[in-house]
Chains A and B, each alone.
Chain A
Amino acid sequence: MSVLAEKVVHRRWLRLPGSLVIGLLLLGLFLAAAAAPGWIAPYDPLAFDMSAILKPPSALHPFGTDNFGRDILSRLIWAARIDLAIAVFTTAFPVVFGTIVGAFVGYYGGWLDMLFGRVVDLVVTFPFLVIVITIVSVLGPGLLDMCIAVSVVGWVFYARLMRAEVLTQKQADYAAAGHVLGYGELRIIFRHLLPNCIGSIIVYWMTDMALGILLGSSLGYLGLGAQPPTAEWGVLVADGKNFLNTGWWISFFPGIAIVLTGLGFSLLGDGVADRLRRGR
């Protein structure tokens, strides 16, 4: 009996897509770092140590130290909190707002669709980073302003995706069935159509969080995101750019962290997509 139960559990694990498991593990690692950096990090991320300037990785400082003698590993761990927050806060508004707008546009069409089409054109014709940089330079650099800038542009992509999904789903007979059962349009949009469309939004959201981190890091690198001495991965990479010859580790490890988090979100998105497809 217990052997059988074990087998079943085992099988269930096997049935989870590998990408989902790896993605979750990677993100779990960074989430743990973000949740309790004070417990995990060996040093104070901001404390200067003039006796250990530009030290290469060693047992004492596994990822080395920077030009002020700050421990890279500790800074990296503290930065996880900021970068995961960036991932969430640059995408939270776009997901919610974009989904709702997209649902209405897709459902009602007509002049609303025309208007939306022009807005999309407007946003898509400019490179994403260029608009964001423009908006940030108007609002002033900083994390909050960066989130606002990304949100102003980012919702369009969710809305576009949602519109397309609703356009196909509203043709389905269950939508017509909702009408002939005398249900109101809001109920049909939000209770019947939206849950059927939300899968691709979630998948896109996952990859978008990875992009959000990259963007946050890029802006941090350019000095438009998090401001020093706050530890943020992009800022950390930028910190090391003058020492690439003498202290490669300053930029290298934060760069790896960015890559791994991005990978984690992408794999998670992939895995979720896989699950959703199998559920159908």
Chain B
Amino acid sequence: MAAAAPMLSVSDLRVSIDAGSGRWMLVDGVSLQVGAGEVLGLVGESGSGKSLTLRSIVRLLRPPLQVAGEVHWRGVNLLELPESRLNAIRGREIAVIFQEPMTALNPVLTVGEQIRESLRAHSGLDGPAIRKRAIELLDRVGIPAARARVDDYPHQFSGGMRQRAMIAIALAAEPKLLLADEPTTALDVTIQDQILKLILRLKAELGMSVVLVTHDLGVIAQTCDRVAVMYAGRIVEQAQVAQLLREPRHAYTRGLLDSVPLAGRARRPLRPIAGAPPAPGDRPPGCSFAPRCGYATESCRRAPPPLIEIGRAHLSACLHHARLAAEAGPS
């Protein structure tokens, strides 16, 4: 992975909202890098800020949400770019696919029309060539009988096919970065697997980087090179996938892994994490996870622990990472 300069570099990203009684930090100082051809997973519970992080990269957030920090894409800070130049990057260099393929496709335009619109905006193709290319794209994402289906409306497609069509639209311009916001959550498991494989295949073919947001550790294990775990608006741990799954160094990650069955691990009772994440207006002064954490000590509750490098390319924001490492026994 990234020995060269990263394609995408997010630093100290903050998303906040004015809640009347004060400012709620929904995303609080997130920094991450994505190298060329790399797949970064962003995992966390609902409300952990993972989707907000993803959406603020392409400036999809509108007031009252406020975004601060820096998002560098190939050396350009996207957060300060004028709208017109941003539009030249969106779609052409950076593409996004969404969770709900039903609502992410415009219901009143045919699938082909939507692909052609994207092509017309970004590829400089024209006339019959554009139609041919649209069919090619549908074919490429695995829609059977693409020539016949290109004039269908989204409601005539099944969920998995809609997500494929969504991917075809997003990839019409052969972008360099794909942001995927829970692309498989709305699909059933077999389709999920097909879509993930499709994304990986296209990633290899087009040489894209991918940021994949999900709450599903299984998806992470299957697809990602590197993973960042988010909790209550912060990144709490970041590492290579295999490393993180084998040796979690944050109490929260550990809790997550203990709460789900993972293939290739000895069977044992699942242990849920007690309690619920704190509401954004109600976060404790120290580590946000402390109230639910079995390892928490006085120093955890005093100030938020910084995200520090504790091993090779392994970052953790847990004061007790050494204890976790020592405990990590034979599992």
**B310 on interface, CB distance cutoff 8 Å:** no
CA distance A176 to B90 in the complex (A): 11
A181 in contact with B90 (CB, 8 Å):
yes
Nearest to B59 among chain A residues (CB) is A179
A173 in contact with B91 (CB, 8 Å):
no
Q: How large is the interface on B (under 10, 10 to 19, 20 to 34, 35 or more residues)?
A: 20 to 34
**B52 on interface, CB distance cutoff 8 Å:** no
A182 in contact with B96 (CB, 8 Å):
no
B105 in contact with A183 (CB, 8 Å):
no
B90 in contact with A173 (CB, 8 Å):
no
A182 in contact with B103 (CB, 8 Å):
no
Chain B residues numbered 70-102 whose CB sits less than 8 Å from any CB in chain A: 86-92, 94-96, 98-100
Q: Interface size of A by Cβ–Cβ distance < 8 Å?
A: 17
| Least Cβ–Cβ distance between B60 and chain A, in angstroms | 5
CA distance A182 to B59 in the complex (A): 11
CA distance A173 to B121 in the complex (A): 19
| Least Cβ–Cβ distance between A240 and chain B, in angstroms | 49
- Chain B neighbourhood of A177, CB < 8 A: 96, 98, 104-105, 166, 169-170
- Chain A neighbourhood of B155, CB < 8 A: 280
| Least Cβ–Cβ distance between B189 and chain A, in angstroms | 22
A172 in contact with B90 (CB, 8 Å):
no
**A127 on interface, CB distance cutoff 8 Å:** no
A196 in contact with B106 (CB, 8 Å):
yes
CA distance A191 to B108 in the complex (A): 10
Contact partner, A174, options B87, B104, B122, Cβ 8 Å = B104
A180 in contact with B106 (CB, 8 Å):
no
**A229 on interface, CB distance cutoff 8 Å:** no
CA distance A179 to B95 in the complex (A): 10
Q: Name A's interface SS.
A: helix
| Least Cβ–Cβ distance between A251 and chain B, in angstroms | 46
- Chain B neighbourhood of A176, CB < 8 A: 55, 60, 96, 98, 104
B103 in contact with A181 (CB, 8 Å):
no
- Chain A neighbourhood of B94, CB < 8 A: 180
**A275 on interface, CB distance cutoff 8 Å:** no
If A173-B98, A195-B108 touch, whether A180 touches B103 (CB-CB below 8 Å) is no
**A192 on interface, CB distance cutoff 8 Å:** yes
B103 in contact with A173 (CB, 8 Å):
yes
A174 in contact with B118 (CB, 8 Å):
no
B121 in contact with A181 (CB, 8 Å):
yes
Chain B residues numbered 20-38 whose CB sits less than 8 Å from any CB in chain A: none
A179 in contact with B108 (CB, 8 Å):
no
If A180-B58, A184-B87 touch, whether A173 touches B104 (CB-CB below 8 Å) is yes
Best-surrounded residue of B104, B105, B106 (most CB of chain A within 10 A): B106
Nearest to B98 among chain A residues (CB) is A173
A183 in contact with B87 (CB, 8 Å):
yes
Nearest to A188 among chain B residues (CB) is B106
| Least Cβ–Cβ distance between A89 and chain B, in angstroms | 29
CA distance A172 to B99 in the complex (A): 12
CA distance A182 to B90 in the complex (A): 5
A183 in contact with B106 (CB, 8 Å):
no
A179 in contact with B118 (CB, 8 Å):
no
- Chain A neighbourhood of B285, CB < 8 A: none
- Chain B neighbourhood of A192, CB < 8 A: 106, 109
Offer 29 A-B interface pairs, CB within 8 angstroms, sorted by A.
A172-B104, A173-B98, A173-B104, A174-B104, A174-B106, A176-B60, A176-B96, A176-B98, A176-B104, A177-B96, A177-B98, A177-B104, A177-B166, A178-B106, A179-B58, A179-B60, A179-B90, A180-B60, A180-B96, A181-B90, A181-B117, A182-B88, A182-B89, A182-B91, A182-B121, A182-B122, A183-B121, A196-B108, A280-B107
Closest 3 CB pairs of A and B: A182-B91, A173-B104, A181-B91
Residues of A whose CB lies within 8 Å of any CB of B are 172-174, 176-184, 191-192, 195-196, 280
Q: A176-B60, A182-B121, A196-B107 are in contact. List 9 more A-B contacts (CB 8 A).
A: A173-B99, A176-B104, A179-B58, A180-B58, A180-B96, A182-B89, A182-B92, A184-B87, A280-B107
